[in-house]
Amino acid sequence: MPDPLEPLRSPGWLAEARRKAIHLGMVIIPLELLFEVLPWPRGKHQFALLFVLLTAGAIVLDLFRIHEHRTKAFFRDFFGEMIREHEQLSLLGSTYLLLAALLAVEIFPQPIAAAALGFTVLGDAFGALVGRAYGRHKFFRKSLEGAMGCLFACLVWTCVVGLTGQVPWNVLLVGALVATLVEMLPVPLDDNLGITLAAGYAMKLLVQGA
């Protein structure tokens, strides 16, 4: 009988898991937007300022990583295979996520921004991990199994946000479905931006139309 955990031991999956561990650590952003545990930042303007500073710093660091020899060597030695091939000469996924956070707090109400970013962080990570391990039924360049992993993570986040009472349940469910659809389709936009903006706009329109 095949070992169901065998795919989780492959070098490719372990490399993806290390990469997504960093990505999952970014869940602190939507959690803080949702619960505001720290004394600062608080409210839209303070969060926007924080994300402007973080995004600008990340872009500067990316420029050094791409163009400055010693910084490039450091990233290659320290992060190695966690940096995707297309990121060698472009922004990192973490930079796109910070940019997505900045756009989200500027465009959407704060709870919707938190919901959309949570879908992005958790949905993208679980979709990639499940798809890499168990993806068999291909859909475009993704897999149906990965999409199910993404949807599961988005539904878990729906429960977290829904229990706070800050966003209606039906709005969150639509956001989760939109996030899963965008993660699955070959949208010509980084997933961090695509999922956040698509899910955020869908939820915002539903709230405004209610």
- pLDDT at position 74 is 82
* Calpha distance 83→41 (Å, rounded): 30
Range name among 9-18, 72-81, 137-146, 155-164 with the lowest pLDDT average = 72-81
Stretch 15-43: mean pLDDT, rounded? 93
CA-to-CA dists, residue 188 to 34, 147, 183, 193, 209, angstroms: 29, 18, 11, 10, 28
Amino acid identity, position 171: V
What pTM, to 2 d.p., does this model score? 0.94
pLDDT digits (tens, 9 = 90+) for 62-85: 999 998 988 888 887 777 767 777
* Calpha distance 108→208 (Å, rounded): 11
pLDDT above 90: percentage of residues in the chain: 69
* Residues 146/124, Cβ–Cβ less than 8 Å: no
Candidates 23, 28, 5; CA nearest to 79 is: 23
Cβ atoms within 10 Å, residue 1: 3
For residue 57, pLDDT beyond 70: yes
* Calpha distance 52→100 (Å, rounded): 11
The domain segmentation of the chain, as residue ranges, is: 6-209
pLDDT digits (tens, 9 = 90+) for 86-136: 777 789 989 999 999 999 999 999 999 999 999 999 999 999 999 999 988
* Residues 104/116, Cβ–Cβ less than 8 Å: yes
Mean pLDDT of the residues in the chain: 92
CA-to-CA dists, residue 192 to 71, 83, 97, 99, angstroms: 24, 15, 5, 9
